[in-house]
Amino acid sequence: MNQTFTDPDVQMLATIAALLQVDYLQEKEIGVGNPFAWILTQSSRRRDKTGEQLISGFLAAKDFDVVKCGDSQADRIINGHRAEIKFSTLWESGVFKFQQIRDQHYDFAICLGLCPLDARCWVVPKEMLLLHVIGHTGQHGGAGGTDTAWMSFGPDEPYNWLRQYGGRLRDAVRVLRQLYARA
């Protein structure tokens, strides 16, 4: 990997992405440059799985206990708490779009957004999603849609209410440690 990252957490995430890349691409497809670019070549289902794997590997490296959830209501159990993982790459319009946010059985959502050479992350309690997103920003059927919701914002322009729940990877780790210590 030939990039120099100023944020060691982004470097760690890029290293995990490079390790995952070999599981998804044939050797001739593996490129150099943007360590996250290969993710864009994957189907949306595989992107979501990759996002879950990136968060799982990153948090495990940060000494969190991370295991797969045994049902479809959450993606992982982190330190004994149910987590839904939402993943977005940067859209051409310069925003992240965290999609398919539902009222399911989880304690918090982790929203990981990847830029070409950077990353942002938020750890959002479900109560805040219910207050600001679920039932408020319908993804299907316009604003009146209630089954799924989404959040769309620029990497450095999250909603005001969201700012306290992360931003940089290290901020999200701090929030996770404060709110969801080992059960």
What stretches in the chain show pLDDT beneath 50? Answer: 1-2, 26-31, 143-145
Q: What is the pLDDT of residue 27?
A: 42
pLDDT of residue 40: 86
Fold of 8-179: Trna Endonuclease; Chain: A, domain 1 (3.40.1350)
Domain boundaries in the chain?
8-179
Contacts of 166 (CB under 8 A, 6+ apart): 111, 120, 121, 122, 123, 124, 172, 175
Other C-beta atoms closer than 10 Å to the C-beta of 38 total: 20
Q: What is the pLDDT of residue 181?
A: 77
- Tens digit of pLDDT for each residue in 58-72? 999 999 999 999 999
Per-residue model confidence (pLDDT) at position 155: 95
Predicted pLDDT at 95: 96
Q: What letter does residue 100 receive in the DSSP assignment? A: E
pLDDT number for residue 139: 59
Complete DSSP assignment for 43-99: -HHHHHHHHHHHHHHHHHHTT--EEE-SSTT-SEEETTEEEEEEEEEPPTTS-EEEE
